[in-house]
Structure 1
Amino acid sequence: MDTDVVVVGAGPTGLMLAGELAQAGMRTLLLERRPEPSETAKAGGLAGQILQLLHYKGELDRFREASTGPEPAPRFPFGGVHLDFTRLADVPMRAMPLPQPRLEAVLAERAIERGADVRRGHALAGLHQDQDAVTAEVRGPDGPYAVPARFLVGCDGGRSRVRELAGIPFPGTSFPEIERLASVTVPDSVTVLEDGGLDVPGVGRIPFGYTATERGVFACSGLGGTMSVYTAEVEATEYDDDVPMSVPELSASVSRVLGIELPLGDPLRMTRFGYSAKQADTYRLGRVLLAGDAAHLFPAGGVAVNAGMLDAANLAWKLAGSVHGWAPPGLLDTYSEERRAAAERTLLHTRAQVALRRGHGPGGDALRALFLELTADEQPLRRLGALMAGTDVGSPMSEAHPLVGTFATDRALHVAHQDPRFAGLLREGRPVLLDLADRADLRELARQWGDRVDVVSASIDERPGDALLIRPDGRIAWAAAVDAPGETALPALREALTTWFGVPSI
């Protein structure tokens, strides 16, 4: 068998997964049905916890170099309003402008550099599996062929062929709206106001943010030297994802929703999409797994890429453990358990956004106004920021320490944003025992897993614990309390290492 893992779909999730698997020494084949990368900027950038993870991997600068601008101020749309995180000293939600074609180009380059075999124009036609292998039946440019592998992962979107062939149910709701989002140059006839609103001849002032009408939702912003326009309206039309949206199409939608003729400049980014709230019953069926949009669909923007790339980070090291033979029993099943729980949290806040943005008239306006009043308090704002960033992933994994089961964020470590001491902490794609209190006893124990666990020592002013065991996906698997005695810390660390990374190598 020449292939360890077949990945289907070369979007951000599939490309991220292929790169992680190849780094872990997996013989990885990535199949993409389209012969060329898509130039449609379905997503506008990276946002949330994936930025923190890339910092820990030492790769954030690589993505930043491909970015189209500086990090925007942390003010983000949420269900017809904007949440302002600028007043928080440690911001829970951040973003990087990086249109999807550029993001995919960086991820593809990264995967190929690490040894993944990326084949474009090769479509999955069928699959079958047994106890020992899964076989992908592929339709390529030179005819059909079959690829046996240890595992196959569907990262092939909301209409996943992998999910269909595996027979995994995908329950949920498809919403009837068509969403249109565009960035255009500002026409000479339009004046951008200081607050981001627009002054349009013959129309007057159009406020920054969202306007709900009986016919749909409209939003605009003139901040940043461009004009952003968004509409959502109920339509019966089914659009082909491969047919790009045009300026006349957007203009007609604005006219229907808002009842005005809005001048539009030259298109910079245009995308059209529908929203669904769905989740696969399981992310694993035997040797077939799902990730990204193939596993879940959310009815709000700005979350899918983050969620999918975090799926990939969670899955990759668990697949590597299964192939290399050190994975403890049940490790691979934790992928479905953990990432389904994380998706439930994302579905919670994105479904709430649907209710917020669809309300119109005095009742809808009152709901949004009250919501904004509640987010004037720090704790509700932080909770929403964690949900949007994907760091709120459900119940903690342990009652022994509050950090266990959470992500290793700046706030969790009590350090400044992108602290240089932790850039590259997870560079090797391996778990790390982060010793924050010069605990030789804990370091010595962790080195018994030296073929798969790294040990790093650091000193910070206000440590959250004496040591943290951080998984390759950035989640904290174990933590020792400050000044925890060895007689309790050592057995607990041994149990965590064995639970997640198998028996010691020495």
Structure 2
Amino acid sequence: MIIVGGGPVGLMLACELGDAGVASIVLERAVEHSAMPKGNGLVGEIVTILRRRGLLRGQKGLHAIPVPRYFFGTLPLRLNPVRPNALRVLPIPQHRLEALLEKRARALGADVRRGHAVSGFHDDGERVVVDVRADHGDYALDGGFLVGCDGAHSFVRHHLGVGFPGTTGDQLVRIGRVAIPAGVRRRSRHVLELADGRTLFLFRPNHLPSGILTLAPVSDLDRGAPADLYIVGTHEPRDGQEPAEQISLDEMRASIQRVLGSDLPISGGQWLRSMIANSRQAERYRVGRVFLAGDAAHVFSAGGSSLNTGMLDAVDLAPRLAAVLAGAASVETLENYHTVRHEAGRQAIVQTRAQAALSAQGAEAEALRQVLGAALRTRNPHRYLATLLIGKPTRAPRR
């Protein structure tokens, strides 16, 4: 079994295969784990699965936190009526998640090869032959199946010729870690109060006339982080600008000033970059003996669902492959992976696009937030919306 990509999805797949007694080779282009904080945690079903697998046991500072309330876009949802502890959050930097999964995968027999890049492959219907480039020389691997977990710019997907349709956002997002001096802010649990008396929400979008500002204390995600270190993000109209892997602290400062309407003193600056949100899905998750999972199969525009959905791809695919390799199922049954996970990806894209719409700028989006937010605070949202349509006066529900 050959896995392309040593991120969380590829390593989760190697762990799941190892648990099923299947050896795998993981080919990862990068020599070392990236220190860049690509993700700050996991949300959803995958957190429960990691707990069940024992992956969090004995890991200092790693706790699956049940949350009775969460945000759908900008709208707060009460989750306990679904079932107690229906949703759990695991604050964990992505580099630590990858190290944790790689250690488990290696212990289960996976051969993780860093600095090894795939340059081509051929599926002859019986085996998949993979061409690999490495510092010590090029070589070929022969495996029963190949799984591309190699990200949004997936080589595997491109080599297969699988389409990746979707949408490109019209907002430029600037994000990074900066220090905000204690003298210009006062923090409570959920808000940051600025020196001028204004308050900004933490861990949720702040909609302002010129854009969106997000703030998150890094210490809430990593207990060893300085108290003045924040993840700061701005959303502004793209206006033809292209994303950049690195931006200056001055560019970040100027963006904050435009969105906030006043200066927010910041310093330091780590991993400052800009990006454009995409929402796309591969047309096929399986072509013969080659599969796609994670960002190679889908990318989302909002909602924090990317890692949850991608790692669940791995959890679904592993037992199917193991059953075929053990002779307990036919190769044809692997089409069910595409059927099940493509639909799961479609649903995730739809709900994250809905969240993006709720987080958008403009009078229409603000009206949508007000109406749906009010409806969700009532015991009978259908009746509330019907009352609006009928034209009867409504009592504003409590927040």
TM-score (structure 2 length as normaliser):
0.83
2:118 is matched with which residue?
124
Equivalent position amino acid for 2:352 in 1:
T
- Distance in 1, Cα, partners of 2:319 & 2:251: 44
TM-superposed CA distance for 1:82, in Å, is 4.0
Instruction: Rate the CA distance shift 1:283–1:252 in 2: closer, same or farther, 3 A.
Output: same
1:207 is matched with which residue?
200
Match of 1:230 among 215, 229, 233: 233
Question: How do residues 69-88 of structure 1 correspond to structure 2 at under 5 angstroms?
Answer: 71=65, 73-85=67-79
Instruction: Rate the CA distance shift 1:86–1:327 in 2: closer, same or farther, 3 A.
Output: closer
TM-superposed CA distance for 1:266, in Å, is 5.0
What are the Cα deviations for residues 336-372 of structure 1, in whole angstroms up to 9, with x where unaligned? 11111111111111010121111324x4333212222
- Say yes or no: does 1:21 pair with 2:17: yes
Equivalent position amino acid for 1:94 in 2:
R
- Distance in 2, Cα, partners of 1:13 & 1:156: 9
Equivalent position amino acid for 1:230 in 2:
G
1:464 is matched with which residue?
none
What are the Cα deviations for residues 50-79 of structure 1, in whole angstroms up to 9, with x where unaligned? 1121233233325x5363x77375543432
TM-superposed CA distance for 1:121, in Å, is 1.0
- Distance in 2, Cα, partners of 1:357 & 1:180: 16
TM-superposed CA distance for 1:182, in Å, is 4.3
1:156 is matched with which residue?
150
Instruction: Rate the CA distance shift 1:213–1:207 in 2: closer, same or farther, 3 A.
Output: closer
The answer to whether the Cα contact below 8 Å between 1:66 and 1:103 also exists between their aligned partners in 2 is no
| Range 282-291 or range 122-131, more displaced | 122-131
2:253 is matched with which residue?
251
Aligned to 1:132, what secondary structure does the other structure show? coil
Instruction: Rate the CA distance shift 1:6–1:379 in 2: closer, same or farther, 3 A.
Output: farther
- Distance in 1, Cα, partners of 2:69 & 2:299: 23
Instruction: Rate the CA distance shift 1:228–1:86 in 2: closer, same or farther, 3 A.
Output: farther
TM-superposed CA distance for 1:139, in Å, is 1.0
How much identity, in percent, do the aligned residues show? 39
What are the Cα deviations for residues 107-159 of structure 1, in whole angstroms up to 9, with x where unaligned? 11111111111111111111111111111111111221111111110001111
Question: How do residues 253-272 of structure 1 correspond to structure 2 at under 5 angstroms?
Answer: 253-264=255-266, 266=268, 272=274
- Distance in 2, Cα, partners of 1:102 & 1:109: 11
- Distance in 2, Cα, partners of 1:327 & 1:265: 58
1:40 is matched with which residue?
36
What are the Cα deviations for residues 18-50 of structure 1, in whole angstroms up to 9, with x where unaligned? 121223222311111111111111110121001
| Range 255-264 or range 97-106, more displaced | 255-264
Aligned to 2:265, what secondary structure does the other structure show? coil
TM-superposed CA distance for 1:185, in Å, is 4.6
- Distance in 2, Cα, partners of 1:144 & 1:233: 45
The answer to whether the Cα contact below 8 Å between 2:152 and 2:299 also exists between their aligned partners in 1 is yes
Where structure 1 has 5 or more consecutive residues not aligned to the other structure, the ranges are 381-506
2:342 is matched with which residue?
340
TM-superposed CA distance for 1:17, in Å, is 0.6
TM-superposed CA distance for 1:91, in Å, is 3.1
The answer to whether the Cα contact below 8 Å between 2:179 and 2:269 also exists between their aligned partners in 1 is yes
Equivalent position amino acid for 1:210 in 2:
P
- Say yes or no: does 1:372 pair with 2:365: no
The answer to whether the Cα contact below 8 Å between 2:73 and 2:356 also exists between their aligned partners in 1 is yes
Aligned to 1:96, what secondary structure does the other structure show? strand
1:296 is matched with which residue?
298
Equivalent position amino acid for 1:22 in 2:
G
- Distance in 2, Cα, partners of 1:109 & 1:128: 30
TM-superposed CA distance for 1:272, in Å, is 4.8
Aligned to 1:143, what secondary structure does the other structure show? coil
Where structure 2 has 5 or more consecutive residues not aligned to the other structure, the ranges are 221-226, 382-399
Instruction: Rate the CA distance shift 1:30–1:221 in 2: closer, same or farther, 3 A.
Output: closer
Instruction: Rate the CA distance shift 1:66–1:115 in 2: closer, same or farther, 3 A.
Output: farther
TM-superposed CA distance for 1:335, in Å, is 0.7
The answer to whether the Cα contact below 8 Å between 1:40 and 1:271 also exists between their aligned partners in 2 is no
- Say yes or no: does 1:50 pair with 2:51: no
- Say yes or no: does 1:277 pair with 2:276: no
TM-superposed CA distance for 1:263, in Å, is 1.8
Instruction: Rate the CA distance shift 1:248–1:18 in 2: closer, same or farther, 3 A.
Output: farther
The answer to whether the Cα contact below 8 Å between 2:47 and 2:64 also exists between their aligned partners in 1 is no
The answer to whether the Cα contact below 8 Å between 1:178 and 1:272 also exists between their aligned partners in 2 is yes
Instruction: Rate the CA distance shift 1:70–1:153 in 2: closer, same or farther, 3 A.
Output: closer
The answer to whether the Cα contact below 8 Å between 2:48 and 2:88 also exists between their aligned partners in 1 is no
Question: How do residues 59-98 of structure 1 correspond to structure 2 at under 5 angstroms?
Answer: 59-62=55-58, 64-65=59-60, 67=62, 71=65, 73-85=67-79, 90-98=84-92
Question: How do residues 100-499 of structure 1 correspond to structure 2 at under 5 angstroms?
Answer: 100-182=94-176, 184-194=178-188, 196-201=190-195, 203-208=196-201, 209-213=204-208, 215-220=210-215, 227-235=230-238, 236-239=240-243, 241=245, 243=246, 247-264=249-266, 266=268, 272-328=274-330, 330-361=332-363, 363-377=364-378
